[in-house]
A and B are shown apart, each in its own frame.
Chain A
Amino acid sequence: MKYLGCIAGVFAASMAAAETPELVVYTYDSFVSDWGPGPAVETAFEAECACDLKFVGAGDGAALLARIKLEGARTDADVVLGLDTNLTAAAMETELFAPHSVSAEYSLPIAWDDANFVPYDWGYFAFVHRTGVEAPTSLKALGESDLKIVIQDPRSSTPGLGLLMWVKAAYGDEAPMVWESLSDNIVTVTKGWSEAYGLFLEGEADMALSYTTSPAYHLIAEEDAGFAAAAFDEGHYLQVEVAGKLASSDQPELADQFLAFMVGEAFQTIIPTTNWMYPAVTPEAGLPTGFETLVTPIKSLLVPAADAPAIRDAALAEWLTALSK
C-alpha cells in the first residue's frame, strides 16, 4: 500500500510539474528549516514566478558541494545556494556551474566580480561573549589572556574553516605561533557551530567562534542585550555566501530569474532576521533595528577564492601540528 501511495504521489507530482515548471534549489539544512529563510523565500518567489520552488536541504555548505559532486551532471538541482568563497574554486573545478547574468549594487565590504556565483548575504567571523567579560582586542591578546574559548573543527565545520583562514590571512607565516598561543585558551573543538555555541551558552566557555551578527539574534529575537562580539585589531575574516546556476539545469530561464530575485528587495529583506547575516544588497528600508548596535570591523580579511584551496590545506596542516602538541 505504501508503495502504491508512493507511485501515485510520483504520478501526481509529475502531472503537476507538467503544468507548472519546478525549480529545484539545493541549499544547506538550516536554510530550509522552519526558522530559516526558506519558507518565506518560497512564498515570495512563487508569488511572482508562476512556478514551484522546491528547496532541498543537504547538511552544510561543504556537504552541499560533496552532494553536487556525487550527483554530477545528472543532478536534479537547478541552483545551488549556500556555498562560500572558500568553496567556489572547488565548485568551479567540477565544471558543473554556468555563468550568471545578474548585476546589482552590492553592499559588500569588497568588490564582487565573480562571473559564476552571485552573493546573497555575508558576515564577519567573530568571537562572541557575554557583556561584562573583558574582551581582548586582538587574536594575539586573546592568546595571552586567560579567557576560555570554544571553536569548531575546520575539517567538519564552516566557521571552523573560517577561523583557520582568518588566522592565516592575518598572520601568514606566523600563524602557527598564534595557534600555539591560543591552544591553552581552547576548551574544546566541536564538530559544528551548533555544538560550540551551545557549549558557550551553557557556560562551558567565555567566548565562542561565531559571527559579529550573533548578538543581533539575542537582541532582536530574545530582547536580550547581554551579548557582544569582540572587535579585533587584525580585522575580521569575511564570509560571503553565494548561489550559482547549474549548467545541466532544465529550467535555465527560471534559474536566472531566481538569481535575480535573490538580490532583490523581497529576498534581501528576509535574510537579516532569519539567516542572521548581512544582506548582500541593503533593502530600501535599511537594516532591521538592532543591527546598528553590532561591531563593524575596521578591516575585512578575505583570501581570494582562487587561492583558497591551497592556503586551506597548508593552514590545516599547521593547525593540526600546533594543536596536537
Chain B
Amino acid sequence: MAYRAQQINPLINPWVGLGAAAMVAALILGTLGVVAIYAPEAGRLGASDWAAVRFTVSQALLSAALSVLFAIPVAKALSRRRFFGRSLLITLLGAPFLLPVIVAVMGLLAVFGRSGWVSQLLDLFGFPAIPIYGFHGVVIAHVFFNLPLATRIILQGWSSIPAERFRLSAQLVFSARDVAKHLEFPMLKRAVPGAFAIIFAICLSSFAVALTLGGGPRATTVELAIYQAFRFDFDLGKAAMLASVQLVMAGAAALFALWASKGQAGFGKGLDRAAQRWDGQSRAARIGDFAAILCASLFLLVPLSAVATRGIAALPDLPSSVWISGWLSLKVAMMSAVLAFVLSVSIALTAVRFAWVESVGLLAIAASPLVIGTGLFIVIFPFASPQDWAMVVTACVNAVMALPFALRILIPAVQDVFESYGKLAQSLGFSRLVMLGLVVLPRVRAPLGFAVGLAAALSMGDLGVVALFAGTQEATLPLQIYRLMGAYRMDDAAGAALLLALLSFGVFWICDMWGRRNA
C-alpha cells in the first residue's frame, strides 16, 4: 500500500482536505468546548445518565445490526434484477431517511399504531392488536429510517464490482457460493462495517423517535438527557459532558469500522460495461429476490403512502406562509448542497492518503444538535444577532451532518479511481485539476449525486440546530409544521408535511438522477 500511496501523491493536495476536515472538527469539538468552558462548573453524570447511555447503546447496536442485516438481501436482489421502475424504486426507498422525524413517526403509527392499518386488519380477523410502543418499537422505527441508507451503501458496493468479474465468474461456472466467496463477501467486508458504524451513530443521537415509540422514560436516550440538562437544569457542564460521551461512542464505532474494513482492496478497474449477471438464475433465487424487494418496499413505502394520503387533501389550500417557508427551506437546501459538495470531495480526496479523516465525518452525525446550536449561539451572540444567521447556520451544520454519508459512499469510489487510473494519469502528466475534472468527478458522479442530494434533503427537514436561533416571522418549513400543529391545525400540518416530503424528495431525486444518468 505504502509505495502506491507515494505514487498517487502528486495528484492530490492533501492540505485542502485536511483543512476541510479541521473545519468540520472545529465545528463539532469547538462548539462542545465552548459550551464546556461557558459552563460555570464541570458536569457530573449520575446513575440515570448511565442508564440513558446503556439504553442508547443497546438500541443503537440492535438497530444498526438489523438494518444492515436486512439490507444485504435487498441490495443483492436489487443489484442483480432488472425490472420496470427499478430506478424509481431505488430512489423512493431513500425517502424515509429524508423525512422529518415527526412526519415519519406519524406515518409509521398510521400503519403500526394502536388504530393503525395492521391493528385494524388483525382486528378484522379477531386477533388482538400488536403494541408498537416499547424497545421493539424504537428498533422498528430506526430500521425504518435506516434500512434504505444501508441498502444504498451496500448496493453501491455491489455496483463497484466490475462487470468483467461477473463475466469471469460465469465463464468459470462459479456456483452461488463461489460468487459469494470471491466477489460478494470481500465487497461486503468493505461496505458493511462502514454502513453499520454510520447507522449506529445516527441511532445514538435519536431522541424524539426513541421517546415517542419507546413508550416512556424507560426509553431515555443520551440526547434526551442533554435536553434535560440544558432546559430543565440549565446545567451546561453536564450537557457538554453527555455530548462528549455521545461523541466517544461514535468515535469507537468509527475506529471499529476502519479496523474491520482494513486491508480490503478494491476489485480493480473494469470497462464500465453494464454488469450482466449470470448468477441467481435458479427458481429459488428468483423467488428469494422477489420476496426481499417486496418486503422492503412494503415496509418502507406503506407508511409513506399513509403520510401522502393524510396530507393530500390539505395540500392545495395551504396558507401562503407555508409556501414561503417552503421556498426558504429550498434556499437553505441549495446552500447546504453546494457546501456538502465542496467539503465531501476535498475530504474524500485526502482520504485516499489518510484513511482516518473519514472518522471526522462520523463524529458529525453523533454530535448533539442542541450542543452545536448552543455553542454556535455563544460564539455568534457577542458579534451579531443570532437570528440573522439562522439560515447560514442551518445550511452549514446540515452540510456537515451529511458528510458521513457522503464520505462513506464517496471514499471507496475515489479510492478505486486512484487505484485504477492513478498510475496512468501520472504517466500522462495530468495536473491535479485535470485529474479531478476529467477522471475523478465523472467516475464518482453517482455517489456524489447521492451525497449532495442527501445533504440538500437533510437540511430541508432540519429543526434541531436552528431551534435556538429561530427568530421572527421567517420560518423554515419544518418549523412552520410545528407552528401549525401548535395552533391545533393538524390537517394543515399534514399538508405542509407532505409538501416538505415532496420538496425534500424532489431535491434529492434531482441530484440523485444527475448522478445516476447513464449509470
Residues of A bordering B, CB below 8 Å: 6, 29-30, 32-36, 38-39, 54-59, 62-63, 65-67, 69-71, 74, 76, 90, 148, 153-156, 183, 186-191, 193-195, 197-199, 201-205, 214, 217-218, 221, 276, 316, 319-320, 323-324
9 nearest CB pairs, A to B:
A35-B487, A194-B485, A203-B115, A33-B483, A30-B486, A155-B228, A62-B231, A189-B216, A217-B488
A-B contact count (CB 8 A): 156
Q: Most chain-A CB neighbours within 10 Å: which of B208, B211, B214? A: B211
CB–CB A56/B472 < 8 A: yes
Which residue in A35, A66, A71 is a CB contact (below 8 Å) of B489? A35
**Which A residues touch B475, using CB under 8 A?**
33
Q: Most chain-A CB neighbours within 10 Å: which of B109, B217, B234? A: B217
Which residue in A29, A56, A183, A198 is a CB contact (below 8 Å) of B106? A198
Query: 12 A-B contacts, Cβ less than 8 Å apart?
Result: A58-B468, A66-B230, A66-B231, A67-B468, A153-B211, A155-B228, A155-B231, A156-B227, A188-B212, A189-B211, A191-B211, A194-B485
CB–CB A35/B483 < 8 A: yes
Q: Is B84 positioned at the interface, with any CB of A under 8 Å from its CB?
A: no
Q: Is B95 positioned at the interface, with any CB of A under 8 Å from its CB?
A: no
Q: Is B518 positioned at the interface, with any CB of A under 8 Å from its CB?
A: no
**Nearest Cβ in chain A — how far from B500, in angstroms?**
15
CA distance A299 to B157 in the complex (A): 66
Q: Is B388 positioned at the interface, with any CB of A under 8 Å from its CB?
A: yes
**Which A residues touch B484, using CB under 8 A?**
33, 35
Interface residue stretch chosen among B186-194, B293-301, B348-356, B375-383: B375-383
**Which A residues touch B319, using CB under 8 A?**
34
* Residues of B in contact, count (CB < 8 Å): 57
Which residue in A29, A38, A204 is a CB contact (below 8 Å) of B109? A204
**Which B residues touch A35, using CB under 8 A?**
483-484, 487, 489
Which parts of B464-519 form the interface with A (CB within 8 Å)? 467-468, 470-473, 475, 479-480, 482-490, 493
**Which B residues touch A193, using CB under 8 A?**
486
**Nearest Cβ in chain A — how far from B57, in angstroms?**
17
Residues of B bordering A, CB below 8 Å: 48, 51, 102, 105-106, 109-110, 113-115, 133, 207-208, 211-218, 224, 227-228, 230-232, 234, 319, 321, 374, 377-378, 381-382, 385, 387-388, 467-468, 470-473, 475, 479-480, 482-490, 493
**Which A residues touch B208, using CB under 8 A?**
190-191, 195
20 extra interface residue pairs, beta carbon distance < 8 Å, beyond A63-B231, A197-B485: A29-B482, A29-B483, A33-B483, A35-B483, A56-B387, A62-B231, A66-B231, A66-B234, A70-B381, A74-B382, A153-B224, A156-B231, A186-B216, A188-B215, A188-B216, A189-B217, A198-B102, A202-B115, A204-B114, A214-B488
Which residue in B218, B224, B483 is a CB contact (below 8 Å) of A324? B218
User: Known interface pairs A34-B321, A34-B483. Does A202 touch B109 (Cβ–Cβ under 8 Å)?
Assistant: yes
CB–CB A54/B472 < 8 A: yes
